[in-house]
């Protein structure tokens, strides 16, 4: 199993693998998405702030996904994840004076993002992470920096004619534990038969081998999974929720949240956000960078 070899190498490199992601469907695209994010060389922060601590440490630990093409996908050659989330994390690190090479990447799966933030295992999480009130009880969010929507992926040709979540009644549907799409199915489409894994690449495998009839999560995640196997998979393409992506950080660290919000707004106007999109998710989706969302300083 290739992932085992990756895991060993990654462990050697200090990249912590929290879950064991399936590698299937994520053929190394090796886009070698080079970061062009600027690294500040002459910054200082008020003593005692998280920004000062991270800047002084010169290194940072970021939680991201590693099996989601376009947003966070491990490059098996460099052993470093690539994607829009990864680029957003680098933009924030750069404003702290931390170079991409000094970022320690940790896989966060959907279900452990809050606990990794709360326990201090990561300094922040950029991982297709929807901002919502339930999660805000446990962590804080900067952003949003992108807005996705829940969608459905089916086998190529859509043999069961699944066009909307109502069509999932009685069908075997795969999603991921701890995710908003899984919760939405439980709450509003209880007749769907839900299979839950820890990561979406396992759902894609389950669709390919006929174990499930459909996979549901955010449209951009599914688009990346379809791009890896267009002969096998198809996106329904009718999003039915709003999933504003935020950067998760420790609850109550308002200075750090304000700082990240400032960085995001700057990236929206200075072109770095759109450039990050174009060299990552834009390549997978074939879409130009959309209008950036409005940051919500709640
Ligand atoms: N954005 C949704 C969430 O945060 C689905 C994607 C994911 O599980 O990362 O739950």
CA distances from 24 to 20, 139, 149, 182, 253 (A): 12, 32, 24, 22, 38
Cα within 13 Å of Cα(30), Cβ side: 5
pLDDT tens digits for 244-276? 999 999 999 999 999 999 999 999 999 999 999
pLDDT over threshold 60, residue 24:
no
Distance from Cα 41 to the centre of ligand 1, integer Å: 34
- What DSSP string describes 264-296? HHHHHHHSHHHHHHHTTHHHHH-----PPPPP-
Residue closest by Cα to atom 9 of ligand 1: 128
Distance from Cα 156 to the centre of ligand 1, integer Å: 23
**Count of residues in the chain:** 298
- Ligand 1 site residues (CB inside 6 A) read 110, 127-130, 176, 179-181, 217-218, 221, 243
Which residue in this structure is represented by tokens 């690539």?
82
pLDDT tens digits for 106-161? 999 999 999 999 999 999 999 999 999 999 999 999 999 999 999 999 999 999 99
d(CA 20, CA 225): 17
Distance from Cα 42 to the centre of ligand 1, integer Å: 36
The fold for domain 150-235 equals D-Maltodextrin-Binding Protein; domain 2 (3.40.190)
CATH homologous superfamily of domain 50-148+244-285?
Periplasmic binding protein-like II (3.40.190.10)
- Three-class secondary structure of residue 67 per DSSP: strand
Query: For the chain, what are the domain ranges?
Result: 50-148+244-285, 150-235
Cβ(146)–Cβ(167) under 8 Å? no
**Encoding tokens for residue 106?**
């940790």
Predicted confidence at residue 30, as pLDDT, reads 41
Distance from Cα 112 to the centre of ligand 1, integer Å: 11
Residue closest by Cα to atom 6 of ligand 1: 128
pTM for the predicted model, two decimal places: 0.89
Nearest-atom index, ligand 1, CA of 130? 4
């Amino acid at each position: 199993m290739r992932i085992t070899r990756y895991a060993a190498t990654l462990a050697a490199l200090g990249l912590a693998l929290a879950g064991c992601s399936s590698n299937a469907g994520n053929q190394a695209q090796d886009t070698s998405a080079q970061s062009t994010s600027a690294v500040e060389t002459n910054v200082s922060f008020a003593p005692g702030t998280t920004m000062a601590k991270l800047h002084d440490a010169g290194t940072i630990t970021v939680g991201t996904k590693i099996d989601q093409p376009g947003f966070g996908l491990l490059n098996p050659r460099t052993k470093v994840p690539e994607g829009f989330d990864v680029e957003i994390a680098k933009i924030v690190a750069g404003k702290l004076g931390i170079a991409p090479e000094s970022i320690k990447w940790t896989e966060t799966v959907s279900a452990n993002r809050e606990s990794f933030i709360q326990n201090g295992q990561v300094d922040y999480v950029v991982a297709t992470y929807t901002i919502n009130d339930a999660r805000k009880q446990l962590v804080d969010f900067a952003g949003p920096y992108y807005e996705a929507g829940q969608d459905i992926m089916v086998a190529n040709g859509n043999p069961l004619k699944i066009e909307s979540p109502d069509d999932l009644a009685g069908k075997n549907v795969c999603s991921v534990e701890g995710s908003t799409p899984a919760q939405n199915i439980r709450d509003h489409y209880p007749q769907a038969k839900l299979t839950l894994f820890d990561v979406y690449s396992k759902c894609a495998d389950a669709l390919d081998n006929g174990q499930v009839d459909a996979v549901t999560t955010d449209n951009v995640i599914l688009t990346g999974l379809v791009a890896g196997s267009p002969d096998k998979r198809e996106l329904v393409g009718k999003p039915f929720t709003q999933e504003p992506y935020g950067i998760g950080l420790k609850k109550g660290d308002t200075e750090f949240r304000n700082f990240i919000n400032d960085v995001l707004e700057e990236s929206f106007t200075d072109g770095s956000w759109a450039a990050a999109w174009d060299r990552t998710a834009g390549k997978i989706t074939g879409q130009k960078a959309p209008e950036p969302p409005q940051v919500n300083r709640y």
